Amino acid sequence: MDSNQPQLTSDVVQRPAELAAHPLVIRLTVQWGDQDAFEHVNNVVYYRWMESARIEYFRQSGLGSRVSPEGVGPILASLKCDFRRQLNYPDSVLVSASITSIGRTSLKMAHLVYSAAQQAIVAEGDSVIVMFDYNAQRPTPVTDEIRARIDAFEGRGSQRQ
């Protein structure tokens, strides 16, 4: 298997307690070329890892990651990352994704990046995804179907806003 392809932790390794609340966890290998001149993983790489987890979350939950025939789909509105520890090659990381809140037109997703070598969280991130009508070029409400898929994937009841 290509080490750049996400691997699901249920098939690969047991989740550490820090990631237990997140329904989606992928494993990625730190590549030598992911490092910068300071010999630690470059900040841009973390964003790519969170993107991989986000897309895998969408795929597994049935939300899809492409525009529907009606022209509606997700669009990334915001992405933030707080770096907690340096990360170096060689290592592998577990990257998680969980939707923490659903607004009228948006979804807030939390991410954790866990180092296998350090056995610790090395970064935390948040992203905001907006449901977007690409034909009308404006946000569109999160449907009840999308809310239900998220709640089912997250293993929660549908008593959320």
Within 8 A by CB and 6+ apart from 101, the residues are 107, 108, 160, 161
Average pLDDT of span 84-94:
97
142 with 131: CB under 8 angstroms? yes
pLDDT > 90 fraction of the chain, expressed in percent and rounded: 81
Q: Provide the pLDDT confidence category of residue 5 given band limits of 50, 70 and 90.
A: low
pTM across the whole model:
0.88
Mean pLDDT of the chain: 90
In the chain, the domains with their CATH numbers are: 7-154 (3.10.129.10)
Across 64-82, average pLDDT = 90
CA dist 97 and 133 (Å) reads 24
Cβ atoms < 10 Å from Cβ of 144: 9
pLDDT given at position 15: 87
Average pLDDT over residues 90-111: 97
